[in-house]
Amino acid sequence: MARKKAKKYPSDEVQGEGTWVEMRRPKIGQLKRLMKLQTEEGNLEAFDGATDLLGELIIDWNWTDDDDKPLAKPGNGVSLDDLATDDEIFFLSNLIGEEAQKARMDAKKKPTD
């Protein structure tokens, strides 16, 4: 069975009804970096690192800007910093954190051989 590489999440709470973001599942190394960056409160370089990492994980979305125009996707010279609001960044960060927590809980439930 192929490994699940991405997941589509509803984003109604930050972008409005019917919106979504599709994100790659982070590799363990990326997850560790994000968790480390999240603990470095008040560190601007850490915040930059976190938004760069989140931008790398986004595959697609149907998000719009304040004028209801489609937002470009991060990558190819387009930074998540220039696209998303603080609420949206925290939303994306929390999605990854919640997924990591679920994965840890599922791993604990699986019987060992």
Q: What is the pLDDT along the chain (113 residues), one digit of tens a residue?
A: 666 789 999 999 999 999 999 999 888 787 777 777 666 665 656 566 778 889 999 999 999 999 999 999 998 888 898 999 989 998 998 888 787 777 667 767 766 55
**CA-based angle 28:34:36, to the nearest 5?**
100
β-sheet bridge partners, residue 75? 78
Model-level pTM?
0.77
Structure tokens at 65: 């800007």
Which sequence spans correspond to the domains of the chain? 29-109
Nearest Cα neighbor of 45 from 9, 81, 71, 90 is 81
51: helix, coil or strand? helix
Q: pLDDT for 26-49, tens place per residue?
A: 887 877 777 776 666 656 565 667
